[in-house]
Amino acid sequence: MRSFVLLLLSLAPLLCSIMTGIHAMPTPEDSEDFTDCGSLSEGLHARAPGRAGVMSATLEKAIEYLKTKAALTDTPIYWVGRNNGKAALPAAKQLMLKKEIVGAKAFTALELIEEIKKHYGPTFTTTGWKKFPDWQEFCETYTERVKPDTKKAFLVYGPQYKINNIIWPYEWAKLLANGNVEYVEAWEIGADGSLPPNGIEIKASKIGSPVKE
């Protein structure tokens, strides 16, 4: 019994470091624009040529799902930037729940990833994906294929962002070209990260994206 206790004590530092490492592993949810994804372990999966560059092998599976199995009839919600340090993602999640605005069902890229994970099982992972080109290609691919029943898409954004470090400009270009999306509403979060009372339509009105250089 004493030897078992001593063994546990000797392993305690190692176990602590392992658990700390697991907790510290960044995920897409940690960042409003997938900034942390590039710091995840690269090289875990083979990479192959893709439209936006060399892409992860698991991205190939995600693209296949988007092209052959995904319905993409729910309302897409995009997010980018911060305001006063508050990320836009939590507000985007809140907007998803406002059915009187977004329709019966809405989703962000993260919900779509969860759908794909359920389809492929534990062999599918986004670990090792880079923001460019992996997340870029994933987001471009589903954006050019969405056909929401509401004919709408939404952008939740904060005024603080780095234009050369976000995927939204690529998504916006696909939304402009997608005839299945007639209206795009932009909602700017407040300094406390909250949603405004309403958004501004930016596609049909030709106002254009508020997120730009």
What pLDDT digit, counting tens, does each position of 127-151 carry? 989 999 999 999 999 999 999 999 9
pLDDT at 155 over 50: yes
What's the domain count of the chain?
1
65 domain residue, yes or no: yes
189, 83 Cβ separation under 8 angstroms? yes
- Which of the four pLDDT bands, split at 50, 70 and 90, describes residue 57? confident
34 domain residue, yes or no: yes
Measured over the CA atoms of residue 33, residue 183, residue 212 and residue 155, the dihedral's sign is negative
133 domain residue, yes or no: yes
pLDDT at 64 over 90: yes
Average pLDDT over residues 47-76: 83
CA angle centred on 192, ends 189 and 193, rounded to 5°: 40
8 domain residue, yes or no: no
- The residue range of the domain holding 140 is 26-201
CA angle centred on 212, ends 206 and 213, rounded to 5°: 135
188, 196 Cβ separation under 8 angstroms? yes
79 domain residue, yes or no: yes
Whole-angstrom Cα distance, residue 129 to residue 133? 8
**In 10 A of CB 68, how many CB atoms?**
7
**R_g (Cα) of the chain, nearest Å:** 20
Name, in order, each residue with C-beta under 8 angstroms of 182's C-beta and a sequence gap of 6 or more.
Answer: 151, 152, 203, 204
195 domain residue, yes or no: yes
Q: For residue 38, what are its two tokens?
A: 């590039």
